[in-house]
Amino acid sequence: MEQFRNIGLLGRMGSVQVVETLKRLKNYLVGEGYAVILEEATAAVLPGHNVQVSSKKMLGEICDLVIVVGGDGSLLGAARALAGCNVPVLGVNRGRLGFLTDITPTEMEPQLAEVLSGKYVEESRFLLDAYVKRNGEPVGYGCGLNDIVLHPGKSTRMIGFDLYIEGQFVNSQRSDGLIVSTPTGSTAYALSAGGPIMHPRLDAIVLVPMFPHTLSSRPIVVDGNSEIKIIIGDYNETYPHVSCDGQTHVTCAPGDTVTICKKPQKLRLIHPMNHNFYQICRDKLGWSSSRDQGGQ
């Protein structure tokens, strides 16, 4: 297991709870003798911190571990910034669901002590790159840990598009769009749209149509190394958007091509030793257990 010495802290802004947790975390780590580096925006909400400050991008270069305090959205943003740095990322949950941020504030210090002593499990999560081209020229790019979504933007009209997987024509669709999701994102927007839950270790991508105009249009699971191409019909009157994790947006035009493929660099996500994906599903999605059914 790695020895962590330089630890970066990154927090979601605009939350009193996050600021309180960041203060506790910083004081704990400094007290334990670790070198703490604060991300610039995070440092701004911790006046008098007396520790090193770094840009988000540099955080991944100079730290052995980055701890993100916030919800899953905070970790998604950190993942896109840090995926190319090969630095492990750990989440402290101060959001709602917490599929990715699984250290609880109430037990933060003992859980952190275990992780920092080398008692943790590590997962490799892949991201998706999305490239938008117009007449063969690049006009936009984004990446996402959860998903790449083609959607109508502010319009209420359906989008017509052709779908290709690995260069093979799949179908022509008329729908509100398409969610292209990683296993990490299968418990997010894709799940709301009727997609399957995929275990995070799967090397697969799911394509979930959004409100398709035909009942036969169903989610498709494909190999994680597949290249997915969406050609937006040039007959469309609307200008659909491509969103990455709901945070990066590219406006498309009729006739544009959206190419989606696995990002070469992966996110190193670490968890406490008791991490259990199915337990998280039970807790977060309200799955029943044998106790609820009167079982033993």
Contact between 151 and 251 under an 8 Å Cβ cutoff? The reply is no
**Residue 293 has what pLDDT?**
54
Residue among 84, 99, 96, 108 nearest 9 (CA) = 108
* Structural domain 127-264, CATH architecture: Sandwich (2.60)
Q: CA dist 274 to 14, 193, 270, 293, Å?
A: 31, 30, 11, 25
Q: What percent of the chain has pLDDT over 70?
A: 97
Residue among 119, 101, 114, 121 nearest 32 (CA) = 114
Average pLDDT (228-237) is 95
Q: Report whether pLDDT(268) > 60.
A: yes
Q: Compare 268 and 283 and report the one with higher pLDDT.
A: 268
Average pLDDT (82-88) is 92
Q: Report whether pLDDT(218) > 80.
A: yes
What are 188-212's pLDDT values in tens digits? Answer: 999 999 999 999 999 999 999 999 9
Domain ranges of the chain: 6-119+273-285, 127-264
Local confidence band at 96 (pLDDT 50, 70, 90 cut-offs): confident
Say which DSSP state 226 is in: -
pTM of the model: 0.93
Q: What percent of the chain has pLDDT over 90?
A: 75
Local confidence band at 296 (pLDDT 50, 70, 90 cut-offs): very low
Fill in the amino acid letter for 225. Answer: N
Any idea which residue has 């990490």 for tokens? 184
Mean pLDDT for all residues in the chain? 92
Q: Report whether pLDDT(262) > 50.
A: yes
What three-state secondary structure class fits 114? Answer: helix
Q: Report whether pLDDT(294) > 70.
A: no
Q: Which residues are catalytic?
A: 72
What are 18-67's pLDDT values in tens digits? Answer: 999 999 999 999 999 999 999 999 999 888 888 999 998 899 999 999 99
**Residue 295 has what pLDDT?**
45
What three-state secondary structure class fits 282? Answer: helix
**Considering just the CA atoms, what is the radius of gyration of the chain in Å?**
21
Any idea which residue has 């670790």 for tokens? 34
Local confidence band at 185 (pLDDT 50, 70, 90 cut-offs): very high
* Structural domain 6-119+273-285, CATH architecture: 3-Layer(aba) Sandwich (3.40)
Q: What is d(CA 247, CA 144) in angstroms, rounded to the nearest whole number?
A: 9
Fill in the amino acid letter for 2. Answer: E
**Residue 1 has what pLDDT?**
57
What are 147-165's pLDDT values in tens digits? Answer: 999 999 888 889 999 999 9
Contact between 286 and 129 under an 8 Å Cβ cutoff? The reply is no
Say which DSSP state 210 is in: E
Average pLDDT (135-141) is 97
> Between β-strands 220-223 and 168-175, what pairing exists: parallel, antiparallel or unpaired?
unpaired
**Residue 291 has what pLDDT?**
62
